[in-house]
Amino acid sequence: MILTVTLNAALDITYRVPALTPHASHRVTEVTERPGGKGLNVARVLAALGHDVTVTGFAGGDTGRALRDRLATEPHITDALAPVAGATRRTVAVVDAATGDTTQLNEPGPAVAPAEWAAFLDSYEELVRRDGMAAVALCGSLPPGVPVGAYALLIRSARAARVPVLLDTSGEPLRRGVAARPDVVKPNADELAELTGSHEPDRATRDARRRGAHAVVASLGADGLLAVTADGGWRARPPKRVRGNPTGAGDSAVAGLLSGLAEHLPWPDRLARAVALSAATVVAPVAGEFDAATYEDLLPRVAVTGQVTAA
Ligand code: ATP
Ligand code: MG
Ligand code: MG
């Protein structure tokens, strides 16, 4: 069992229109609604790989109910979302069918009251201590009302329960989270530069590790992954740059790393899986989904090379 945490979950709504034009009225040709937010995207990819996943975070109001109703129909996913009085946010993606370009509108999400945060913490403590819990992923931004050190707290309790914990966030929650010594942190290039002040990935990745993370896996867009771990350093590159929608590629990289961790694969195999899955996600039109044929095709062709990592 793998646990993913999405404190800022969303109901993702996608409208498809023939062509998007400012000041014009548009006929919507297709509407889809699905549970969203980074940890839920990670969970969906893990479920597609055959892992059992429990999802937690917050859900509330009519949109929270709609999100949970849909989650209930998804195989391998168990809903452990905690209640919040405000309504779960919606995100709206407007896809221009002619160009494939997406215009994204994101609501901020409801504020979390102190009592709601306390109740979430109790349920999280119970979840990480369950028998068979193989890993925890903490994903995305923090909603209003949640303390900025929230991820640091969740990392400490996972580690106290001896469950490996991966962090994927940005800004101050990332900075404080890294200092709490997560097993893995997965920043993208911007998040890594903001954390370390360096735009040089090798240097920044080693710096992030010195700040406390046991392993740092930096995602560098079409250039793949750069990992620095206690067992060594690696570069993993996709065999080719693929075209498509890169939103959610990082979430699929996280899913690949976690599934490999849960299956006790060595680091190079985890990285290859993460790179193939995330490229297969760029090819798929919707975040949190990947193209299975592309994944199978790319997996044996990902180049993973060892790197000498000066401390
Ligand atoms: P997210 O929107 O999910 O938060 P991110 O910004 O965290 O994404 P990126 O570094 O953009 O993550 O992408 C994650 C991984 O996806 C990369 O490390 C790479 O393996 C893969 N990837 C991204 N873009 C491409 C591409 N054009 N071609 C092939 N692989 C890609
Ligand atoms: Mg990106
Ligand atoms: Mg990301």
In one-letter notation, the amino acid at residue 10 is A
What's the confidence (pLDDT) of residue 156? Answer: 98
Structure-block tokens of residue 161: 């329960």
ipTM (interface pTM): 0.98
Question: In the CATH scheme, what is the homologous superfamily, with its name and number, of domain 2-7+36-87+111-307?
Answer: Ribokinase (3.40.1190.20)
Contact at 8 Å (CB) between 165 and 136? yes
- From the alpha carbon of 252, which atom of ligand 1 is closest? 3
Question: How large is the average pLDDT for residues 200-207?
Answer: 96
- Tokens standing for 228? 């620095």
Mean pLDDT across the chain, nearest whole number?
Answer: 95
Q: Ligand 1 atom 8: the closest Cα is on which residue?
A: 250
Q: Which two structure tokens, joined as six digits, stand for 126? A: 């119970």
Average pLDDT over residues 276-286: 91
**Residue range 155-165: mean pLDDT, rounded:** 98
Segment 143-160 shows an average pLDDT of 97
Q: Does residue 311 have a pLDDT over 60? A: no
Determine the atom of ligand 1 nearest the C-alpha atom of 244: 27
Query: What is the tens place of the pLDDT at every residue in 2-53?
Result: 999 999 999 999 999 999 999 999 999 999 999 999 999 999 999 999 999 9
What is the CA(64)–ligand 3 centre distance, in A? 23
- Whether 244 has a pLDDT exceeding 90, the answer reads no
Would you place residue 287 in the very low, low, confident or very high pLDDT band (cuts 50, 70, 90)?
low
pLDDT at 288 over 80: no
On the question of pLDDT at 310 being above 70, the answer is no
Report yes or no: 172 and 148 within 8 Å, Cβ to Cβ: yes
Looking at residue 307, what is its pLDDT? 87
The ligand placed nearest to the CA atom of residue 287 is 1
Angle at 52 between CA 50 and CA 54, to 5 degrees: 145
Does ligand 1 lie within 6 Å of residue 221's CB atom?
Answer: yes
Assess contact for 104 and 93: CB atoms under 8 A: yes
% of the chain beyond a pLDDT of 90:
91
Q: Ligand 1 pocket, 262 CB below 6 A?
A: no
| Mean pLDDT for the stretch of residues 242-248 | 87
Domain boundaries, the chain: 2-7+36-87+111-307
Count of alpha carbons within 13 angstroms of residue 74, beta-carbon side: 27
- Is 251 considered catalytic here? yes
CA 12 centroid distance within chain? 15
Q: How confident is the model at residue 100 (pLDDT cuts 50, 70, 90)?
A: confident
Residue 309 has what pLDDT? 60
Identify the pLDDT of residue 247.
86
Among protein residues, the one whose CA lies closest to atom 4 of ligand 1 = 250
pLDDT reported for residue 71: 96
